[in-house]
Each structure stands twice: as C-alpha cells, then as structure tokens.
Amino acid sequence: MGPASPAAAATMLACHFFKYSDQRRLEPIRIIKSLAFQLAERIPMVAEQLLLLDVAEVARVTDVKEAFTKLLLEPLQMLAQHKPIRHAVVLLIDALDEADPPELQLLAISSSGSKTICPKACGNVALQLITGHLCHLPPFVRFIFTTRPNAAADQVLPCLERTFPKNVLRLSPSALRCMNSGGDGPSSRQQQGHGGVMVYHTAMAACKGGASVQDPQLKDVYAVYGRIFEATFAQYDDSGDVFGGRKEAQLVHDLLAVLMAAKEPLSQSFLQQLGLGEDIALLPGYPKLFFVDEHHLYLVHKSLGDWLLDPAINGAFAAHVHQGHAQIGLHLAGMWRQQQKQKQESAAVGGSSNSSPYLLKYMVVHLATAADAETAAGVRGEWDSNRYSSSPVVATPSSPAADELDVLLQDFGLLAAVLMAGHGPIIGHRNGVLSVAFSPDGRQLASSGYDNTIRLWDTSTGQCITVLEGHKYQVTSVAFSPDGRQLASSGWDSTTRLWDTATGQCIATLKGRTRYITSVAFGGPRGRQLASSSYDMNLRLWDSVTGQCTAMLEGHTKVVSSVAFSPDGWQLASGSEDMTLRLWDTATGSCTAVLKGHMRQVTCVAYHPAGRQLASGSMDATLRLWDITTGKCTAVLKGHTHDVSSVAFRYPDGRQLVSGSQDSTLRLWDTATRQCTATLEQDRSGNVVSSVNSVAFSPDGRQLASGSSDRIVRLWDAATEKQCTKREGHMKEVSSAAFSPDGRQLVSSSWDKTLRLWGTATGQCTTTLEGHTHQVTSVAFSPDGRQLASGSQDANLRLWDIAKGQCTATLKGHTYQVNGVAFSRDGRQLVSGSDDYTIRLWDTATRKCTATLEGHEYQVTSVAFSLDGRQLASGSEDNTVRLWDTSTRQCITTLEGHTYKVTSVAFSPDGRQLASGSKDNTAQLWDTATKQCITVLEGHTKGVTSVAFSHDGQQLLASGSRDSTVRLWNTSTRQCIANLEGHKGAVASVAFSSPDGRQLASASWDNTLRLCETVTAGQSATVEGMVLEAGALGNV
C-alpha cells in the first residue's frame, strides 16, 4: 500500500509477523526496533544513521513516537535526501487480525454471530502503529498487509483505506495464487474473501487421507484440523498407554490448556517444569501444526488457536483454558515463594530482582483469570461427556487460584515489585475534582481532577479501587463506555485516553492537532464513537475501534466546553464559549441546529433519557431546557448565584434534573413544573466555599455524585437529598438467609465473609458476626433461637452465641467448602454438607463429629432434617437427592429425576413431602413414603437455587432462582400463584418466618435481602416489602 506503481525489480524487505499468542510481538517499540534492524542489514546508509545513535539512550526510549522518529523516520528521510531511490522499500506486516485483543478475536470467530455493544477501543496495536506512525514514512516505502477482513470489529479495511486513500489494492489468497506478473491485478472490490490457502496446505501435510480442496476457505482449514485431532485421539484412545498414571489424551489436553492460556510462547524448559516437556511430540499434527523453534513451542497459525477456543467449531477438542491459567498461575506462585524463601535463607535484601519477567508480568493475570472463570461458571466438578475430554474437571472447592491470589495480594514482596514497576499507592485526589461519572451498572464511580489523575471508586464501600495515571496535566472529563469495560478521559495535555476498567491499563492514546481538550463522550450507533471538544473551537469524532479521527465538526467561534451524545447515538450536542449550543448529525457530521439564548458561555449540556429534551448550563447562572425537535428554549431555570458548571438528568425517567454550580450548591429541579425542589449544600471545612464542578446520577437514579474543588467526591441519597451515611449492609453477594424461631430476627450470610442479624420489624442490622476467613455460604438458627451455625468456603462450621455476638466453637473436619447446615428439631444435632462429597453429623454439646455419611458422587449442596429428626435429606451436584436414616446413618434411597445439579432440599412441616430445586430450572415434589416424584414445578427460566416450605400449613412452597425471581407455589394444586420480582441479581436463598409464615425473606447476589408479606394458597398477589440495605456512602 502507498502510491500505486509497478513493483521494483529488486526490493529491500523488512517484515513483522504478529502472533496472537506472543504478547512480545505486540509491543510497538519492539516492532519498530525489529524493522529498523532488518533495514539496517539491507541498506548501508540506514545502518550508518543508526550507528550514530547512543545505544544506552535508545535502550531507554519508552515513547513510541520517539522510537519511530529516531529509528525509522529520520534514517529513511536521510536516505531519500542523499541518493535516488531505485528500489522500493517494502514493509511486510503480517496477520493484523492477530493483534486484535482476545475478546475481538473470539467475536470474529464466534459462530453465534453476536456483536458486542462496544469493542475494546483502539485494541489493535498494529493499526495504531500503522495509522499513527508508519503511514508517515517517505513515499518510496510500500506496505504489504495481511489480515482477515473482519479484524478490528470489521474496521480493518476501512481503516487502511482511510489511511492510504486511493492507494489500496486488496487481494485474496486465491487471487494471489492465480495472478500473473504482467496483469493489472484485480480491483479491491472484486477480491475479498476469507481464504486459507497457505495454512491449508501446511495442515494437509500433517493429515493422512482426505482429498484436497481446490480453493480452500477457513471452514476447510478447520475441517483438516478436525480430521488430524480425530485421528490422533482415536489412536491414543485405543493405545491404553499410561504416562505417570495419566493417558496420552489427558497429557495432550493438559498441554493444550497451558498453550492456549499462555501470554507468550512457552519455553521447553518451562513446560518441563510443568511436567509437560516430554509430551510435545504427542500433540496432534506435530511438528506441522505445532513446532519448536529456538526452544519455544509455537502454533502454526492463529486459526488453529481460534479453532481450539471455540467448542462450536471444534466439537470435542475445546481447550480448557481456565485450567491452563490455573496451572501456570499456581506454578508461577510456587516459583515466587521459592525465590522469596531462597532470599531469606541467604539474607538477601530486596524483592524480585531474580524473578522472571513473565512471572512478574503475568502471574497475577493467570491466577485472576482462573479464579474469575471458576466464579463465573458457578460450576465445579463438571463432567465433560465429550468423547475425548479429560476426566471430570474438578476445581477444588476452595478455589486454589483465588486462595493463592488472596495470599499474593497481601505479600509485601510482591507489593514492592509492583511499586518498583511504577504503581503508586491509592489515595484520594490531591487537588480539585473536575469530573465524575457512574459506570452503567452503578457499581463504580470515576472521578478526575487537577492532580492529573483519574480514580475509580467502589460505590458500595466507598473505597478507591485504582488510580489511573498517564495524563500530564489536569484531566477535564471522564466517560464510561456503554458496556462499562472502558473509560475515556480528556485532558489539557491535548490527549484523549482510553482505559481498561478491569485492569486499570491505558489501552490507547488519541492525539490530534489540537489544544486543550475540554470534554469527552462515548456514544454513536452501537456505542462505537467517541466525541471530544477542544479549545481549538472544534469537535472531533473518533472511531473507537481503530482510534482514527473520522470527522472534524466546525462551526463554533470560540472554545467548545462540553459535548454529549443523544441516547440513540445519532445526534451530538455541544456547548461553547460563543454562548450557543449546536446539534450535529453523527452520521454526516453536519450541524443541524444552532440554539441561542444564554447570555454568557455555555459550560455543560445533557440529554433527557428519552432524547426529547436537552439541558444546558451557563456562566450566566441559569439552566435552559430545549426542545430538540423545534430547537426552541422551553424553560429558563434560575436559582444559582454563580456559574452553572454541570447538569445531569435523573435516570431512568428524567423527571428530575440536577445542577452543580460555582456557588457551592447542587440544585434538584422538577422537569415537569420547572421548579427547584431542593438545594443541596456541601459540608464545609471552616469557611471554605468549594465550587461544584461535576454532577452525575447513578443509572438507577438512587444516588447522586458530585465532585468539587475541595478535592472531595460526594455521594448523595437522591430520595432523602442528604449526603449518604456509611453502609451497614453486606458488601458482597448474600448467600443465605434464615428466620429465628420467633420470627423477630433474620440472619444473612454473605460472600463478604460475615453474617448479619436484622430486626424484621425495623429492617435494621443489629449485629455483624465476623470470623470466617472465606465466603460464608450457609446459616441456620438453633431451635431455641440462642445459637447460629454457619458454613463457609474455609471448610469450617462455626457456632455463634447470638446474645453475645461471639463465636463459641469452630467445627473442623470437612476438607473443602461447606455448602449447607441444619439443626435437628431438638437442637442436639447439626448436619453439614460439603464439596468433599460427604455429609457430617455433629453433636452440638460436645462439638464433635459423630458420623460421616458417604455416597454422593459429587459436591453435596444442601441438607435438611425431617421434623421428627428420623430422616435426613441431601442434595448433590450428582443430580440426585438422597434420604438417610439418622439412627443407622445409612442411605435409605436415592431419588433420581433431576437432569442437572440439585441445589436445595426442604421437608414439608408434616414430613410427607420433600422439595428439591435444581439447576435444570425446576423444583420437584417427592412423596417421602413412596419415594416417588409427585410433580415437577416449571416456570423459572434459570436454575433454581433454593426451596422452602411455609411453616403455617398453608401448603405454600417458595423457590428462588438465578433468574432473579421468587415464585410461590400451591403444593396442593401444583400451580404458581405469585412471581415476585425486584432483585437485580440471582436469588440465592429463600426462607419463611416461623411460626406464622407471614413473611418471606429472599437473599440475592445483588447484595440485598428482601422481606415481603406472603399470600395464602388461594391468593395470587403479594404486597411490596422492605429491602435490607441500609444507607449508602459518605465522602469518598
């Protein structure tokens, strides 16, 4: 690509091959140095220019632009000045698609065809390097790019055509094969496709049998991979050879999991440490599909990795990547501990100088990915029924990856290494706050300010999660992407930056020939545009995928101070110091209206959630409401005594408007009556008056955030119009709930490692019990209401004295997570079920284990005593329910019927029925006498997590589900009589009050408990109850 001309008879070539599995090949400076070195080998004058540079200085270069200028641009410019260029200099950049971030690569190969709302902004580093730097090389430099057409979310070809206008020639692999040297070549419009000619023939060389395809496409390449793997695993399946107690197929699965999880090609020595070094030759298609080069193991092509990652196209051969992450991460953690131990023994000082770069760079990433996969799946001990799958994948219930991560993050040595890498401590803003923005789910708040930083806060705890540093001057504006995974920021350093909210890394820096940037916004159709406003009087639209500026919007005559997208993304509004607002068409970039009325500069703009109205604030101390259809001002809101600096509509209905001002107040306005309904005054330090620089409503409209010049980010309760107090509720998902025998108290357990006692009359938290070291999974009251029993991921049970609020005993015996606990009716026995596949009976007086019941083939998820205490029921992930005789400790029967994991069991008050809930989305009723299933209750759209009978004989059964609802069933008619909605996350537990059953409690992963008055078996409605989550936040 470049000016079109016949190819030179001789060319000087430099190349770079991107490899999705090798993160080193994605580093821009490494790419530049590689290209420069290759050109120096072929062009003496380039070599002379590079030899003039100071080696140490080049080694210290960290800025991409500086590296490009010194190592490529200036030597090639010098070459053009001193001698005529007779031969073309060709740069071959191979596999641009392999530079896509992982989520875009998975999207490109996804068979479902689903599209993410907002792909990672500027995620393709290859395109960033090409469009930002390489395109500025002298005209005699030509480019050859290879890529899949759907790379960069289908934007790779439009991006290249914008970068090299009228000079792009597109060729498919089949066209390359059939072109003759003297032809004009096919046009770009004619030659498109997804061919896989070269890799196909390489793969065919490893495939025994099967006819070749004349014009192979990607599907044909995948078919060859399938044949090779099928033949290899069939051979291993029949061989029966065992290596170290594992079959060859298992070894290959382990090796594939590690290879697909690795961030860089792994060395043979590292694979040897993992116990896999001797197994490389077992890989299907070795040494064609997999090969060793310079003692590192590689895949032949990215398409092989794509095929291994997508079960929809590879059938039985999907790589268990999360296992690979766990295996690598745990091994690296062991290496870290061993290094620290060696340093202690040798009395060495320091943290991590001997640690490998891979360890420091990726250890935490591997462990976090493995832990996230285990949590997100919610599925342990899954038996993969595929023919060639490894044996059951059993992730230990205590989640070794998560446990190891917890330990490492408390390791000061690792912290020191992180600090040496340039990460600073997390503290509040050191200067005034200029902008605040909520994430789409409301769980995070971003703030930016005069201290050149951005801070992300957890809105439930008020803790600063991370500090984002990179801007050189004040950060004027922040905005979340529609999916919340990215954050955009603008600053007076003339840059717009894109950040990954999960990792805190800056993933792209957008630069234009502009002065200070005043505002930034995500939006546009499908959320793939960015808009920025600037001191140069213009607005810019950016393609968030490629990072290219796609349009310059000109029209304002002074500084543009604010910008906002309409909810549908097709319109853009801007406010300026020229006292006007302008409306723009985001598709054409044309100005569609100029709104005039303000008497001084416009400082802020915001769209109504329905898109019908626009609000603006000005230094004339007023707000104005505008009808965007007519362009007319419909109201002028007066009340502030100084500049209005920020404005925001309340979601989701837009009935309220909030404004922040330099007069140190926030005002709430009714958008229907246009009246000020409240004035919120900040708490002051002495007589200091701090201006409010930014305001934002949370997505659910319950909270309001403000950022001020006093360096404080404040959260307000939108209902009470007060600054929020410290939260008293659970900080993480609520896992279980139980009523006291008298119904006056409710206890809840949570993933935040605590139990909380609540007054059912007031809804107030009365006691918090702490002691477990991991998530608390289950809780139960003793029959006399004096004790509590709890089970946890720490594999222990704890007994608590409710009056004293103290732990009285820790019961140890289970080897993995405890999932369920229950007291017998006389309170003398306690039963627990665990991920170690066993049930244990405990004597509550002696605190000793009296029996261990074995029989389930997978994790025991739930246990329950019958009312008379003679029987015990247990549910398991082996899809069964078992009934046990408590006197003989023998299994009476196994109830089979569920098609997926059983999550909960409960006896009816009279003991005649047993209810079970399952991840197959159903609850089932069983006759305890006949041991037969009476009925299957269907209605939930996701797995049933909990079942509970009412204690008042009303024939009511409640079921909670991952679909966020609670259903009430009449056990006589087997009909659903109510569907209770309100939770925003999976319902983890349901419980009826004793003894009247008038109240129903539900615990949810949305961190809340809900109490409601129940209905009788003949009713079909319920009244709303209370939500147990006290307060919100104070000053962050």
Query: Do 930 and 893 touch, CB atoms closer than 8 A?
Result: no
Both tokens of residue 181?
A: 């040297």
Strand partners, 723: 716
What pLDDT sits at residue 409?
Answer: 62
Higher-confidence position of 606 and 323: 606
Question: Alpha-carbon distance 453 to 449, whole Å?
Answer: 6
User: Strand 88-94 vs strand 141-145: parallel, antiparallel, or unpaired?
Assistant: parallel
Residue 685 has pLDDT above 50, yes or no: no
Mean pLDDT of 151-173: 81
What pLDDT sits at residue 112?
Answer: 44
What pLDDT sits at residue 722?
Answer: 66
| Single-letter amino acid, residue 664 | S
Backbone angles phi, psi at 803, to 5 degrees: -65, -40
Please tell me what DSSP assigns to residue 658: E
Question: Alpha-carbon distance 791 to 989, whole Å?
Answer: 14
| 581 membership: H or E segment, kind and range | strand 580-585
| Single-letter amino acid, residue 378 | G
| Single-letter amino acid, residue 499 | W
Mean pLDDT of 880-885: 95
What pLDDT sits at residue 361?
Answer: 65
Task: Indicate the domain borders of the chain.
Answer: 12-100+123-180+194-200, 218-330, 433-723, 771-996
| Single-letter amino acid, residue 363 | M
**405-414, 848-857, 939-948, 967-976: which range is least confident on average?**
405-414
What pLDDT sits at residue 712?
Answer: 78
pLDDT-derived band of residue 418, with 50, 70 and 90 as boundaries? very low
Question: Alpha-carbon distance 1001 to 1024, whole Å?
Answer: 12
What pLDDT sits at residue 675?
Answer: 93
Distance of CA 869 to the CA centre of its chain: 46
Q: What is the dihedral angle through the alpha carbons of 1012, 1016, 1021, 1026, rounded to the nearest 10 degrees?
A: -10
Query: Do 676 and 650 touch, CB atoms closer than 8 A?
Result: no
pLDDT-derived band of residue 7, with 50, 70 and 90 as boundaries? very low
Topology (CATH level 3) of domain 433-723 = Methylamine Dehydrogenase; Chain H (2.130.10)
For 692-715, give one letter per residue: b (16+ CB within 10 A) or e: bbbbbbbbebbbbbbbbbbbbbbb
End-to-end CA distance of the chain: 52
Strand partners, 559: none
Which has the closest alpha carbon to 791: 398, 394, 395? Answer: 398
Residue keyed to tokens 């006819």 = 211
Residue-averaged pLDDT of the chain: 80
Proportion of the chain above pLDDT 70, given as a percent: 80
pLDDT-derived band of residue 651, with 50, 70 and 90 as boundaries? confident
Q: Check whether the bond before 652 is cis (ω within 30° of 0).
A: yes
- Report DSSP letters for 46-60, one per residue: HHHHHHTS-HHHHHH
Please tell me what DSSP assigns to residue 277: G
What pLDDT sits at residue 1010?
Answer: 83
- Number of Cβ within 10 Å of residue 435's Cβ equals 24
Q: Reduced to 3 states, what is the DSSP secondary structure of residue 218?
A: helix
List Cβ neighbours of 339 (8 Å cut-off, separation of 6 or more): 352, 354, 355
| 327 membership: H or E segment, kind and range | helix 321-345
Plot region of 322 (φ>0 → left; ψ -120 to 50 → alpha; else → beta): alpha
- Number of Cβ within 10 Å of residue 207's Cβ equals 19
pLDDT tens, position by position, 906-931: 999 888 899 999 999 999 999 999 99
Query: Do 105 and 306 touch, CB atoms closer than 8 A?
Result: yes
What pLDDT sits at residue 20?
Answer: 64
- Number of Cβ within 10 Å of residue 293's Cβ equals 9
pLDDT tens, position by position, 124-139: 778 888 988 898 898 8
Residue 806 has pLDDT above 70, yes or no: yes
Query: Do 236 and 248 touch, CB atoms closer than 8 A?
Result: yes
CATH of 771-996, one of 3.20.20.70, 3.40.640.10, 2.130.10.10, 3.40.47.10: 2.130.10.10
For 980-991, give one letter per residue: b (16+ CB within 10 A) or e: bebbeebbbbbb
Residue 820 has pLDDT above 90, yes or no: yes
**64-78, 179-193, 261-275, 974-988: which range is least confident on average?**
179-193
Distance of CA 513 to the CA centre of its chain: 34
Query: Do 124 and 101 touch, CB atoms closer than 8 A?
Result: yes
Residue 848 has pLDDT above 90, yes or no: yes
What pLDDT sits at residue 426?
Answer: 37
Question: Alpha-carbon distance 960 to 662, whole Å?
Answer: 49
Instruction: Give the C-alpha distances (Å, rounded to integers) separating 530 from 448, 474, 484, 539, 549.
Output: 18, 20, 14, 10, 9
How large is the greatest C-alpha to C-alpha distance in the chain, in angstroms? 100
Strands of 492-627, DSSP E:
495-500, 506-511, 517-523, 529-534, 539-543, 549-553, 560-565, 571-576, 580-585, 591-596, 602-607, 613-618, 622-627
pLDDT-derived band of residue 1033, with 50, 70 and 90 as boundaries? very low
Strand partners, 605: 616
| Sheet with 902-907: strands ordered across | 902-907, 913-918, 922-927, 932-938
For the chain, give the number of residues: 1036
The domains spanning 433-723 and 771-996 adopt the same CATH topology: yes
Q: Please give the radius of gyration of the chain, using alpha carbons only, rounded to the nearest integer.
A: 32
What pLDDT sits at residue 298?
Answer: 86
> Which range has highest mean pLDDT (206-220, 371-385, 401-415, 1006-1020)?
206-220
| Sheet with 517-523: strands ordered across | 517-523, 529-534, 539-543, 549-553
